[in-house]
Amino acid sequence: MNSPSRRRFLTTPIYYPSGEPHIGHAYTTILADVLARFWRQDGLDVFFLTGTDEHGQKMLEEATRRGMTARELSDQMSARFKAAWKDLDISHDRFIRTTEPDHVAVVTAFLERLWNKGEIYEGKYSGWYCIYEERYWTEKDLGPDHACPDCGRPTREIEEKNYFFRMGAYQQRLLDHIRDNPEWIQPTIRRNEILGFLAQPLEDLSISRPKSRVSWGIPLPWDPEHVAYVWVDALINYVTGSDAIDPTRAPAEQGFEDTSASRWPADVHLMGKDILTTHAVYWPTLLMGAGLPLPKGILAHGFWVAGEQKMSKSFGNVIDPLQLRERFGTDAVRWYLLREMPTGQDASFTPERFLVRYDELANVLGNLASRTLGMTDKYRQGRIPDAPGTGLDGEIAATLATIRASVAGYRLHDALAAAMDLARRANGYVEEREPWAQAKDPGRAADLDETLATLVRTLAALTAFLQPVCPGKMVELAARLGLNAVPRLEEVDRVRLGGNQVRKGEPLFPRAELLDAAAAKAP
Counting contacts by CB under 6 A, is residue 184 touching ligand ME8? no
- DSSP H or E run through 298: strand 298-301
* Nearer of residues 15 and 509 to ligand ME8, judged by Cβ: 15
Of the residues 10, 14, 205, 470, which one makes contact with ligand ME8 according to CB under 6 A: 14
Q: How many residues bind ligand ME8 (CB under 6 A)?
A: 20
Counting contacts by CB under 6 A, is residue 74 touching ligand ME8? no
Determine the Cα–Cα distance for residues 100 and 78; give it in Å rounded to an integer. 12
Alpha-carbon dihedral sign for residues 215, 207, 151, 81: negative
* Nearer of residues 337 and 439 to ligand ME8, judged by Cβ: 337
Of the residues 8, 9, 10, 13, which one makes contact with ligand ME8 according to CB under 6 A: 13
Task: Assess whether the previous peptide bond of 265 is cis (omega < 30° from 0).
Answer: yes
Could you tell me if 162 and 123 are in contact, meaning their C-beta atoms sit under 8 angstroms apart?
Answer: yes
| Cβ-defined contacts of 195-200 (< 8 Å, 24+) | 197/277, 197/281, 198/171, 198/174, 198/281
Give the per-residue contact string, 214-253, with ligand ME8 (x = CB under 6 A; - = no): --------------------xx------------------
| Sequential DSSP letters for 418-444 | HHHHHHHHHHHHHHHH-HHHHHH-GGG
Determine the Cα–Cα distance for residues 473 and 395; give it in Å rounded to an integer. 23
Of the residues 8, 9, 10, 16, which one makes contact with ligand ME8 according to CB under 6 A: 16
Determine the Cα–Cα distance for residues 344 and 81; give it in Å rounded to an integer. 24
Tell me, what DSSP letter sits at residue 342?
Answer: -
Could you tell me if 48 and 33 are in contact, meaning their C-beta atoms sit under 8 angstroms apart?
Answer: yes
Determine the Cα–Cα distance for residues 332 and 394; give it in Å rounded to an integer. 28
Could you tell me if 451 and 426 are in contact, meaning their C-beta atoms sit under 8 angstroms apart?
Answer: no
Determine the Cα–Cα distance for residues 22 and 151; give it in Å rounded to an integer. 17
Of the residues 85, 184, 282, 304, which one makes contact with ligand ME8 according to CB under 6 A: 304
* Nearer of residues 271 and 497 to ligand ME8, judged by Cβ: 271
Least Å distance between CB 271 and ligand ME8? Answer: 4
* Nearer of residues 151 and 195 to ligand ME8, judged by Cβ: 151
Of the residues 46, 63, 311, 462, which one makes contact with ligand ME8 according to CB under 6 A: 311
Give 166's contacts (C-beta < 8 A, 6+ positions apart): 119, 120, 121, 204, 289
By CB under 6 A, the residues from 425 to 454 that bind ligand ME8 are none
- DSSP H or E run through 358: helix 351-359
Could you tell me if 230 and 275 are in contact, meaning their C-beta atoms sit under 8 angstroms apart?
Answer: no
Least Å distance between CB 234 and ligand ME8? Answer: 4
Q: Which residue is nearest to ligand ME8 (CB)?
A: 24
* Nearer of residues 274 and 434 to ligand ME8, judged by Cβ: 274
Characterise 66 by phi-psi region: left (phi > 0), alpha (psi -120 to 50), beta (else): alpha
Give 22's contacts (C-beta < 8 A, 6+ positions apart): 311, 312, 313, 318, 319, 320, 321
- DSSP H or E run through 121: strand 120-130
Q: Which stretch binds ligand ME8 (CB under 6 A): 20-28, 110-118, 189-197, 358-366?
A: 20-28
Least Å distance between CB 347 and ligand ME8? Answer: 8
Least Å distance between CB 24 and ligand ME8? Answer: 2
Determine the Cα–Cα distance for residues 436 and 30; give it in Å rounded to an integer. 40
Of the residues 9, 15, 81, 429, which one makes contact with ligand ME8 according to CB under 6 A: 15
Least Å distance between CB 279 and ligand ME8? Answer: 7
* Nearer of residues 94 and 504 to ligand ME8, judged by Cβ: 94
Give the per-residue contact string, 269-298, with ligand ME8 (x = CB under 6 A; - = no): --xx-xx-----------------------
Least Å distance between CB 412 and ligand ME8? Answer: 14
Tell me, what DSSP letter sits at residue 172?
Answer: H
Sheet holding 304-306, edge to edge: 309-310, 304-306, 347-348
Counting contacts by CB under 6 A, is residue 306 touching ligand ME8? no
* Nearer of residues 260 and 323 to ligand ME8, judged by Cβ: 323
Q: Which stretch binds ligand ME8 (CB under 6 A): 106-114, 184-192, 252-260, 303-311?
A: 303-311
Give the per-residue contact string, 132-171, with ligand ME8 (x = CB under 6 A; - = no): ----------------------------------------
Q: Which residues, in sequence order, are bridge partners of residue 129?
A: 136, 156
Query: Quick one: how far is CA 391 from the chain centroid?
Result: 36
Counting contacts by CB under 6 A, is residue 53 touching ligand ME8? yes
Least Å distance between CB 285 and ligand ME8? Answer: 15
Looking only at the bridges linking them, the beta strands covering 298-301 and 304-306 are unpaired
By CB under 6 A, the residues from 339 to 358 that bind ligand ME8 are none
Of the candidates 133, 98, 69, 115, the one whose C-alpha atom is nearest the C-alpha of residue 314 is: 133
Least Å distance between CB 15 and ligand ME8? Answer: 4
Least Å distance between CB 4 and ligand ME8? Answer: 25
* Nearer of residues 18 and 372 to ligand ME8, judged by Cβ: 18
Least Å distance between CB 437 and ligand ME8? Answer: 49
* Nearer of residues 298 and 486 to ligand ME8, judged by Cβ: 298
Counting contacts by CB under 6 A, is residue 303 touching ligand ME8? yes
Of the residues 8, 9, 10, 25, which one makes contact with ligand ME8 according to CB under 6 A: 25
Site residues (vs ligand ME8, CB under 6 A):
13-16, 24-25, 27-28, 53, 234-235, 271-272, 274-275, 303-304, 310-312
